Structure 1
């Protein structure tokens, strides 16, 4: 069965976005970008909320045509373009770039996706990730902790009253100071 993996960057104090939605604090150098490519190349689908999908669709479809794109950026453009995408939105009627719009996170529908053959699926976007987390649908968490304390912004995991037990399975330090914390969801997920 395919797994659903949350793979996102976060500040040391737990923010997914800085004030005003800023992401300029993400330290994605060539080493980290290549790591992302190596991980994402094996996936079978992106699971995104509307905002994340629109952000990605505004840049990545043609990023490899940019003469200033690094080799890792050009490679990711192809990965993103070719990968099937599921976009969760109550307002979109259609989404381009090999994407299907789903109105809500339906547990049975998601479990049917997980039962299909292929690689794991990756979630992008904090709002949709929190809905998947609250429903116990995330199998693994790959959190890239950036060496910055923002002091304000949008938290990756807002207060929800839902506890999620995790088991640490890997840590990795990148040369730019980013730390990967890779967790698997534990059997003790419960409502708190």
Structure 2
């Protein structure tokens, strides 16, 4: 059975982007990116909302960029090798390999997917993750906190979700990013 993992890169005040929708402040440096790559190696399926999928589609062709960075190339290979499920009422078709579109997020269907999976799954995008967090599907929560306060934007974690957590890992990076990993207590 796979675990469902929610990973969010957020500002210290808990936003994934600022009030203008910018998230350039969250771009990982080489040390953080290599760490994230290692976190993502066991992932077999990514669950995305439409907006995050549109950002992540970059990795479908990242290997075609001139003079690709080896760490980014490593991540591109990981992303391309995994299955992607995109929850969207507006996308008619996927524009990346190993990707399918679902019109609605169904808690029971995701629960069955977890139970039948030989590898872990991640859920990304704060709106989609909120459904899984509130629905009790998330097994682990991983936060990469950037050393910036943006003062508003899209919250990384939802209101209305109560979870008891156990700290399982932590790490500080030279650029000031702090990594915190929690297991959800059931």
Match of residue 162 from structure 1 = 161
TM-score by length of 2: 0.94
Q: Work out whether residues 27 and 146 of structure 1, in 8 Å CA contact, stay in contact via their aligned partners in 2.
A: no
Match of residue 49 from structure 1 = 49
CA RMSD, aligned part only? 1.3
Structure 1 residues 162 and 26: alpha-carbon distance in aligned structure 2, compared to 1, 3 A threshold: closer
SS where residue 39 of structure 2 aligns?
helix
Provide the rounded CA distance (Å) in 2 between the counterparts of 1:34 and 1:26: 15
Q: Note the 1:123-142 alignment, pairs <5 A.
A: 123-142=123-142
Q: Using the TM superposition, give the Cα deviation of residue 166 of structure 1 relative to its aligned residue in structure 2, in angstroms.
A: 1.3
SS where residue 63 of structure 2 aligns?
helix
Provide the rounded CA distance (Å) in 2 between the counterparts of 1:148 and 1:72: 24
Q: Work out whether residues 27 and 176 of structure 1, in 8 Å CA contact, stay in contact via their aligned partners in 2.
A: no
- How many residue pairs match? The answer is 185
2:88 matches 1:89? yes
Q: Using the TM superposition, give the Cα deviation of residue 56 of structure 1 relative to its aligned residue in structure 2, in angstroms.
A: 1.3
Match of residue 14 from structure 2 = 14
2:146 matches 1:185? no
Provide the rounded CA distance (Å) in 2 between the counterparts of 1:133 and 1:35: 24
Provide the rounded CA distance (Å) in 1 between the counterparts of 2:161 and 2:27: 30
Which string of whole-angstrom CA distances, capped at 9 and with x for unpartnered residues, describes residues 6-39 of structure 1?
1110111011111211111114111111111111
Provide the rounded CA distance (Å) in 2 between the counterparts of 1:150 and 1:162: 23
